[in-house]
Structure 1
Amino acid sequence: MITQKQLWSSLISLGLFLGINTSVQAVEIPINKTQQFQKIEQPLALKAGVTLVGLGLISLELWWFLFSKANGKKV
Structure 2
Amino acid sequence: MFSKKVILASMLWGLMFGLGANAAIANINHDSPNTQFQRMEQPLTVKAAVTAGGLALVCLEIWWFLLSKRQS
What TM-score, normalized to structure 1?
A: 0.46
What TM-score, normalized to structure 2?
A: 0.48
Structure with max Cα Rg:
1
